[in-house]
A and B are shown apart, each in its own frame.
Chain A
Amino acid sequence: MSGITQGAVERSGSTGLGDVVELILDKGLVIDAFVQVSLVGIEVLTIKARVVVASVDTYLRYAQAINQLDLAAAGIAAAAPAPIQPPQIGGWQKTQVVITKAEPMTGGVAAGTPASQPAIDRQQDGATS
């Protein structure tokens, strides 16, 4: 993200897991609404991007960021002697990606499928992170 000319708009496709998670786990059509009978109950590992928006933690981070600002350099007030450290607020490093196994959907193949249609084997031994 660095090296971009001031005022220039950064352009890209979806880059990185963060963009993609936002898109395909949150948005899009849900096939369960269209199909029930031949939907295969395959284990889907759920991934949640959690961000704390308003909490004591957030407030303390804001306070720290504010306290570390160099107001003298910004011409806002009288000298602020605190050492300058760029506050590490924002950015994907603050987004916790929590990977947990969801409850597998019930049944290999939902009821109503002809008996000649064997269920998909749903062993979980292939699960990796």
Chain B
Amino acid sequence: MTAMYVYGVTYAETKVPDSIRGIDDATVTVVPQEQCGALVSELAGGRPLGQRSDLLAHEGVLEHLAQAQVPVLPFRFGAVMTGPGEVASELLAVHQEQFLAELGHLAGRIELVVKGRYESDRAYLEVLAEDPQLLALRESIQGVPEEASYQERIRLGELVSQAMDRKRAVDGERLVQTLAPHADQVAPRRLAQEDEVATAAFLVRHERRAEFEGAIDGLGQDWAGRVRLRLIGPLPPYDFVGQLSGQAS
């Protein structure tokens, strides 16, 4: 007994090369219905999903298409339907217009994610240099055993945390303001790390990619030794498909 794992929706004529393997090394095919197609592979029934290789396979299929500049609507991990007939009739036929509109909207565009992180101690040194109160608090607990200065340490950490938030707000704003003019849309992501400046996803037209990369290189130069920038992509437009709603009935 097998089922169909669904990676996302693309155009019906999309071809997936054999070198791109799905979950459990399965062949990825396109189930067409009129102009839309669902990216699927067979999945053994009763198989729980969520292992590292499952996640990487899901992402690998979609990322390949993004890199080949094929528009694709990425699905969240874990969508399984009973069979190809149901994929065509229930998923594609019913939502054909919605999917086509969204694919058209995203055509010619890629998602690029930019992450900025402070270089090791740099932000902390700035915070200390900018606030004499912090410096004094730090001096007052130097050499004091941890147990004896517990409250002071928490207070110091809290103040540093607040100062870091303010610093992030300023630097994050600069990152977005510098890059947004070169993109169609921006979607900020929530922060995941303490030394993170900002993370944001940008929807960028193919023909403006070089220009976008020029802008991020410029910012990287300005921030050399202070903030480390990372550019991830091209990715499927994960951050820009949220507007679609499946509530047809």
- B238 is contacted by which of A28, A67, A74, A94 (Cβ under 8 Å)? A28
B91 touches A34 (CB 8 A): yes
Q: Mark A81-107, 1 if CB is under 8 A from B, else 0.
A: 110001101110011000101000000
B63 touches A90 (CB 8 A): no
Give complex CA distance A37, B244 in Å.
19
A128 touches B80 (CB 8 A): no
Contacts of B109 in A (CB 8 A): none
Given contacts A10-B229, A29-B8, contact A58 B161 (CB under 8 A): yes
A30 touches B48 (CB 8 A): no
Given contacts A62-B156, A89-B194, contact A29 B229 (CB under 8 A): no
Q: B46 contacts the other chain (Cβ, under 8 Å)?
A: yes
- Pick the most buried of A13, A23, A128: most chain B CB atoms within 10 A of its CB: A23
User: Closest approach, in angstroms, between the C-beta of B114 and any C-beta of chain A?
Assistant: 8
Q: Which of B121-151 contact A (CB under 8 A)?
A: 121, 124-125, 127-129, 134-135, 138-139, 141-142
Chain A residues with a Cβ under 8 A of chain B: 1, 4, 6-15, 17, 19-35, 37-40, 42-47, 49, 51, 53-54, 56, 58-67, 69, 71, 74, 76-77, 80-82, 86-87, 89-91, 94-95, 99, 101, 109, 113, 117-118, 120-124, 126-129
